[in-house]
Chains A and B, each alone.
Chain A
Amino acid sequence: MRFTIYRFNPEADNAPYMKDYELADIEPGTMLRDALLRIKNEQDDSLSFRHSCGEGVCGSDGININGSNALACVTSIDSLNEPIVLRPLPGMPVVRDLVIDMTQFYTQYRAVKPWLIVNDPVPEVEFKQSPEQRDKLDGLYECILCGCCSTACPSFWWNPDKFMGPAALLQSWRFLSDSRDQATDERLEALEGPYKLFRCHSIMNCVEVCPKQLNPTQAIGNIKKLMLKKML
């Protein structure tokens, strides 16, 4: 099986280049992460990529696979056309090979204050929530922050320092829809303006690539609807 992999070592290379590899004796159902590990162990130990849990939970190994962002650990190579072209997630600075600098992504994530904000005295035992209130968090809390969605979003490529990006906005809606959170007005206020939320044009690349099948576009639409409701 043939692979074409983006290579760039800023300490040694003047410019990025694509390098070809070939792997033989690949068992059916092999995941791309395992193939990459074989290339690294058997052919080229200078190849760099992030990985950890190997089962789509940690979100470390998000890469661009044949033009589409995905997690290497849950992508079976049987489903991919040859040569398998691997690039770093687009629109972010490359640290080395398939490893990108996620600083901007985490800055935007922190900016939406992804934690409960409670002004009342915190209950002594626990926060009470009805099953219906808890159900509203489904499809939101499962985000693993792999960055596949935000780095697939053209609006995030164009204004990465101003537009929050789908991952951060999904988390914003996760706390806006949490019955325990008491900072709705402050959260909405912080998203006002032409950039932070309203750069989203519902392109839906984020929905297409999310490895957890989440729907940031719908979350963004819900934030807009809530803003409108408050305005009217």
Chain B
Amino acid sequence: MIMNSESHTKLIQLKELWKTYFTGDIPLHALRGINLSIDKGEFIAIMGVSGSGKSTLMNILGCLDKSSKGQYLFMDIDTTFQSNMELAWLRRKNFGFVFQSYNLLSRTTAYENVELPLLYASKYKKNKRKEIVLNALDKVGLRDKIKSLPNQLSGGQQQRVAIARAIINNPFVIFADEPTGNLDTRTSFEIMSIFQKLNEQGTTIILVTHENDIADFTKRKIVFRDGKIISDVENMNQRNAEEEYKKLPVEEEPA
């Protein structure tokens, strides 16, 4: 998926994108003609109430779902007519996913969870894989937990394993669907500081949230309502998650 594109090529372009579900008698329009373009290196918060279409948009952007109408160009590739196989290849090379409920494989160690995308996407030998996996776990500060199973880790630790898994193939974009939804403030800030660092290193991050505090750590806020974008503004005063984290009062350990 190496592109011979100029630097000003848009990473993602949506043109009049519709998504309609035909579940009952009345067709449900989850997205109503979305136009959106996203550049490399952006850090975007997609906000909105439940049912506003933000998750649907995420699924389509992540090529987990297809639009009903309109165009989705990823690095100038029109994904509309790609086969499921081509979309799977596109996903494994370019995208990383982080979910609200972590979605780690149960009864599988942190190491194995992080290694999994490598097994699908690469032909690296065991030693090379180990080096990459440990490097990714280093970035999220969990090198000492490689042998732990998901149920032995806290929510924040599980989410950090999920982030390590998402970055293992050096994706262009990380899609994070309410990554802090199940976490307390301290841990949320920790996770956001990891995202900010990844973004500084050039990874595009698209994050769905309905918490304004979390959106404040991003660079651009897009608000959805009823399948349409109602506001799309640059966040002029992005907060620094690491600094905020340090400002939080240290919790007393119960004796």
Q: Do A and B come from one complex?
A: no
Binding site for B on A (CB under 8 A): none
